[in-house]
Amino acid sequence: MSTLALSTETTVIEEQLAAARAAIAERTTVTNVVLTACGGSYAVMMPNEYFLSTTATTLETHAFNAAEFTARSSKLVGENTVVILCSHSGNTPETVAAAEHARSLGALTVAFTHELESPLAQASEYVIGYQHGPEKSESYVAPALLLRLVAGLLDDREGTTLSASIDDAVAQLPTLVGDVRHAHTAPADAYGAQYKNEKLIYTMAAGSNYGTAYSFAICLLQEMQWIHSQAIHAGEYFHGPFEVTDRDVPFIALVGLDETRAIEQRAVDFVTQHSDRTLVIDANTFGLDSVDESVRGIVSHLLFGPALRAYADALADHRGHPLSVRRYMWRMEY
């Protein structure tokens, strides 16, 4: 289904992004934004909910699983709403239904997908085709393009001046991601060798990095490695989950650069003291000096993804369990 020919050219992507941004800017009555998708694509929405909610002075933002969004049928969704969706294949039934639901209420719909001919692309007014696979540019993957659209939306509707810094950071991603991958290749290999027999690995983060921790827990560990997991919110850790901490319980904890860093650091200080099996990844090591300081916090999640992917690849290798194997997904009706 997915072919290189369908990996959209960067000039086309820029046109699609500009058209969606202009359409949002032109709808001057917009009062709220909904970000909705399923699984890994929903996780990509979460940092953008954080970015919008911590920056906006007028716009209200919510992120929902797409099935939940449609079932809720909120009366606050209508002509004054921008609904942003994402599905890699563009075939996710719940996300297509969410686009149709939103559009039937008069909301402005913008979809991110790898497949420009897909049902989601057809159901949505504006479509941005992101790149994927070995030929992709790291500046044209879904999380990077979504962040650029949201920065543009904030500038146009909230009077901020974020786009230039975000666009500049995204343009640097091929180098930044390459450096992060390189830095984590050897540590990830050692991690894979040491943790290959784990039945359960928790992840932990807060703020704009919670989505990346969630994605790693549900997609990489549960879905692709059949390893039990939960993405623990670092602020919730001390109010229940921390009682499962023990010397042999593995945690992967993220420490980012946004307003919730102190929350994440407090959880890391505890978990590293009481478990011998912790991996801490700190965005301070991502070499973000060349990124405008004001956006380093929100940009960090674009690097946590590739960093964590190195650990998933290494776990898959040492476990002899390729990330592509599924026992239910794509193999049966459900």
Residue 107 or residue 176: which is nearer to a copy of itself going by CB? 107
Separation of alpha carbons 130 and 185, rounded Å:
26
275 within 8 A of 246, measured Cβ to Cβ? yes
Query: Is 11 or 273 the residue whose CB approaches a copy of itself more closely?
Result: 273
3-state secondary structure of 312: helix
d(CA 328, CA 222): 12
- Nearest to 238, CA basis, from 214, 213, 269: 269
Taking Cα atoms as reference points, which of 132, 133, 124, 88 lies closest to residue 104?
124
Query: Residue 209's beta-bridge partner residues?
Result: none
- Spatial CA neighbour of 145 closest among 257, 8, 29: 8
In SS3 terms, 141-172 reads as: CHHHHHHHHHHHHHHHHHCCCCHHHHHHHHHC
- Which CB atom, from 146 or from 206, has the smaller least distance to a copy of itself? 206
Buried b (16+ CB within 10 A) or exposed e, 299-333: bbbbbbbbbbbbbbbbbbbbbeeebeeeeeeeeee
Q: How far is the CB of 237 from a copy of itself (least distance, A)?
A: 9
- The whole-angstrom separation of Cα 219 and Cα 221 is 6
Report residue 202 as tokens: 């928790």
State the minimum distance, in angstroms, from the CB of residue 133 to a copy of itself: 20
Q: How far is the CB of 77 from a copy of itself (least distance, A)?
A: 10
Q: Which is nearer to a copy of itself, 62 or 132 (CB)?
A: 62
- Nearer to a copy of itself by Cβ, of 12 and 238: the residue is 238
Amino acid at 140: Y
Would you say 233 or 318 has its CB closer to a copy of itself?
Answer: 233
Paired tokens of 122: 């057809």
Closest CB 31 distance from a copy of itself, rounded Å: 9
Minimum Å distance from CB 139 to a copy of itself?
A: 26
Residue among 60 and 79 whose Cβ is closer to a copy of itself: 60
Number of Cβ atoms within 10 Å of the Cβ of 58: 10
Residue ranges in contact with a copy of itself by CB under 8 A: 32, 38-40, 42, 50, 53-58, 60, 62, 65-68, 71-76, 92, 94, 199-200, 206-207, 217-219, 222-224, 226-231, 233, 235-236, 238-246, 259-260, 262-263, 266, 270, 274, 326-329, 334
Rg (CA), the chain: 19
Q: To the nearest whole angstrom, how small is the minimum distance from the Cβ of residue 212 to a copy of itself?
A: 14
Alpha carbon separation from 173 to 141, 179, 248, 300 (Å, rounded):
10, 9, 36, 11
Complex with a copy of itself: residue 125 or 236, whichever CB lies closer: 236
Nearer to a copy of itself, 11 or 75 (CB): 75
Q: How far is the CB of 32 from a copy of itself (least distance, A)?
A: 7
Minimum CB separation from a copy of itself for residue 149, in Å? 21
Shortest Cβ distance from residue 46 to a copy of itself (Å)?
12
CB neighbour list of residue 214: distance below 8 Å, 6 or more residues apart: 43, 46, 203, 231
